[in-house]
Amino acid sequence: MGKLGDCWDECCYKWDEWKYCLACLGIAAGAALLAALLAAFGFVRHVSVSVDEASLARFELNASSPVTSLAYNLSLTLVVRNPNWAMALRNTKPLEAALKFDDQAFDRFELAGKGDRHPPGKTRVYHLAAGAAARFAALGNAGEAEFRRENATGTFEVEVAVAGEVRYTARYTKCKVEASCPLRLQLAPRAAAAVVFQRVKCKLAKPEKNC
């Protein structure tokens, strides 16, 4: 700013040197424009993901051969925020949420399709009411043991894994979105009073280069 001030004093000292004065103005305007563009598009701020609400009404293991399956009924509210004030996100792959028990996925859902646009500064809320009488889960011996252990307490550790790929406005690189939301869900039978759920902030994977 000091340099620009000097320039201004130099140039505008004599009004007949208006040409220089205009050049000065041009440089100042250019610098301001560059600064604005840099602030808007120079730095990517990554999305934030959280689970604001979740409840588990059923979670049962069927370990009879030949396959291990889970019967479950789960509802959750997933919130994805784009904190950028000028850059939108566009999905280059569908945004998906996988439900996992003991690191094994037992169900998957598409939250938003490929090509979907998430405007700057906006928050997207996804409500998921999921359930199945039998969903295959490769729990193995260790997973079944873990299930029995948690089953005895009535509280299950279920992970919601969010995965997608996006491109930010004015950027060439595609960036993976990977978030892990570890939930501790107390089994709540339909008749029982609602179990209080504490909002969970999901942990995002480290961004790749150029993201």
Ligand X SMILES: *[C@@H]1O[C@H](CO)[C@@H](O)[C@H](O)[C@H]1NC(C)=O
Find the binder of ligand X among 62, 123, 173, 210 (CB under 6 A): 62
Q: By CB under 6 A, how many residues form the interface with ligand X?
A: 10
**Dist CA 73 CA 26 (whole Å):** 63
Query: Nearest distance from residue 153's CB to ligand X, in Å?
Result: 10
Q: Which stretch binds ligand X (CB under 6 A): 29-37, 55-63, 109-117, 159-167?
A: 55-63
Q: How many CA atoms lie within 13 A of 159 on its CB side?
A: 15
Q: Enter the tokens of residue 124.
A: 């997207």
Q: Enter the tokens of residue 55.
A: 């409840």
Residue with smaller CB distance to ligand X, 60 or 159: 60
Q: Which stretch binds ligand X (CB under 6 A): 28-36, 58-66, 164-172, 197-205?
A: 58-66
Q: Is the CA virtual torsion 40, 45, 47, 48 positive or negative? A: negative
The residue written with tokens 């600064």 in the block is 35
- Cis status, amide bond into 66, omega within 30 of 0: yes
* 61 binding ligand X? (CB under 6 A): yes
User: Where in 131-170 is the site for ligand X (CB under 6 A)?
Assistant: 131, 148, 151
Contacting positions for ligand X (CB under 6 A): 57, 61-62, 64, 67, 73, 131, 148, 151, 190
